[in-house]
Amino acid sequence: MKTLADLKRKLVPGQKVMMVRHDWYPGNKLMNAERTVVSVNNVGVSISVPNEDHSSGMDWPKSRNLHFTDDGFEVALDSSKGLEGPRMGYKFIN
């Protein structure tokens, strides 16, 4: 994957992901838990929260705030600092 469009094509309902990095909340209960993409729209993506009946949302990042890893992606948590600042990362499971 190289572009935001590639990410949007990959993150479709049913896609399994795992949060592997969150610089603001490194001990977050969602770390290393399998989650499922629930819905996608023009604004962003909604991802299930394990053992709860709701999901969490993530707006689509600006391309400059998106970095691809070997098995997933990272987004800047503070758009004013971009990728030099804190990040949140996911890996794809399937």
CA nearest to 24, candidates 73, 67, 60, 76: 76
The CATH class given to the 4-92 domain equals: mainly beta
Q: Encoding tokens for residue 33?
A: 């838990």
24 close to 35: Cβ distance less than 8 angstroms: no
pTM, to two decimals: 0.92
Distance of alpha carbon 41 from alpha carbon 23, whole angstroms? 26
pLDDT in tens, 17-52: 999 999 999 888 889 999 999 999 999 999 999 889
pLDDT in tens, 61-93: 999 999 999 999 999 999 999 999 999 999 999
